[in-house]
Amino acid sequence: MRAIVLDQQRSIDDSPLEMRDAPLPEPGPTQIRVKVHCCALCHTDLHVIEGDLGPHKLPLIPGHQIVGTVDKCGDEVTKFRRTDRVGIPWLHRTDGACEFCRRGLENLCEHGQFTGYDVDGGYAEFTLVDQDFAYAIPPQFTDENAAPLFCAGIIGYRSYRLTGIKPGERLGLYGFGASAHIVIQFARHLGNEVYVFTRSENHREHARELGATWTGGAEGTPPKPLDAAIIFAPAGGLVPEALRVTRKGGTVACGGIVMSQIPAMHYNLIYHERRLRSVANSTRQDAREFLELAGSVPIRTEVQIYKLEDTNRALQDLKHSRIRGAGVVRV
């Protein structure tokens, strides 16, 4: 099969990914082999490629927002049949036995594995996944429009849920890329006003098109205090800014897997029972709930399509904020 392979972590601007022939993977007893139709881009791919996340597997085929059809089933597979359309997210496998799994927190599994990081991912013609970690896709979504749902959507949904925001309350979004352009849609569907903070005027325009009540820069002050905020941009300097404009008792959630250093800040910013929390990975229940919600809204992802051989350029565009909505590699 054709595959995009990373041998050594370094800047995506150096085009470190190479197109190669790779062995066709064979599914284990409970695995399915998926013929990949497309794979959406994610900032986590950049963190893996550029070394912000330490290497777990090299050489590696990155990519973890995968849509395709079942090509072959292991002997014990019962949930899918050949030609079924499935999606594969970041969470690849958990042990099901550690204390976190037993508490319903499999996103924190002590031995969790992640797609396109611990195991080969979706920038290839075929990939493997256990049947319990693949998902049927609501039929109204095309392959390309479904792909961003499988990380940008799921992690956005978990971030939203963990803020504890209620219908009618005000939500702030810091950064307006793939996750935020999905979150604004279901947040408005659920009755929230959405306030968007981003340095890009193109992204502000996109946010207004999707119904943002207010848009401004990262250091802007909205007309009313926020009840909750989600920070998607990996910039620690946004933490005190978000706390500054969040009401007493409100929550600021950091939705990224990597963030630059949070600066020293005055205690008053977190006083009055404001909460600052991280969001780590997601669970299968998050995926199931979000896909049902996405179908009912329905979410409309805006995507920019790239060829598999252009994956370096695609991720360079992602890094430098040249993508409106979500980038998707068509395999």
Closest to 230 in 3D by CA, of 186, 293, 288, 263: 186
Token pair, residue 150, equals 């499988």
Q: pLDDT digit string (tens) for 272-316?
A: 999 999 999 999 999 999 999 999 999 999 999 999 999 999 999
Question: What pLDDT does 55 receive?
Answer: 92
Which bin fits 24, alpha (ψ -120 to 50), beta or left (φ > 0)? Answer: beta
Task: Give the H/E segment covering residue 44.
Answer: helix 43-50
- Report the chain's C-alpha Rg in angstroms: 19
Architecture of the structural domain at 153-278: 3-Layer(aba) Sandwich (3.40)
Closest to 276 in 3D by CA, of 162, 173, 145: 162
User: CA torsion angle for 74, 152, 107, 88 (degrees, to 10)?
Assistant: 0
Q: Where are the beta strands (DSSP E) in the chain?
A: 2-6, 17-21, 31-40, 66-73, 85-88, 91-93, 113-114, 126-130, 135-136, 170-174, 193-197, 214-216, 226-231, 246-254, 275-278, 303-307, 326-330
Cross-strand pairs, 130: 31
Go through 70-107 and write b for each residue having 16 or more CB atoms within 10 A of its CB, e for each that does not: bbbbbeebeebeeebbbbbbbbbbbeeebebbeeeebb
Question: What pLDDT does 132 receive?
Answer: 98
**By three-state DSSP, how is residue 40 classified?**
strand
The helix, strand and coil proportions of the chain, stated in percent and rounded to the nearest 5, come to: 30, 25, 45
Question: What pLDDT does 232 receive?
Answer: 97
Tell the burial category of 313 from Cβ atoms under 10 Å away from its Cβ (0-12, 13-18, 19+).
middle
Question: What pLDDT does 179 receive?
Answer: 97
Domain residue extents for the chain: 2-151+282-330, 153-278
Architecture of the structural domain at 2-151+282-330: Alpha-Beta Complex (3.90)
Closest to 45 in 3D by CA, of 284, 242, 306, 277: 306
- The answer to whether the beta carbons of residues 85 and 61 sit under 8 Å apart is no
- The answer to whether the beta carbons of residues 117 and 56 sit under 8 Å apart is yes
Q: Which residue stretches of the chain have pLDDT < 70?
A: none
Q: pLDDT digit string (tens) for 121-167?
A: 999 999 999 999 999 999 999 999 999 999 999 999 999 999 999 99
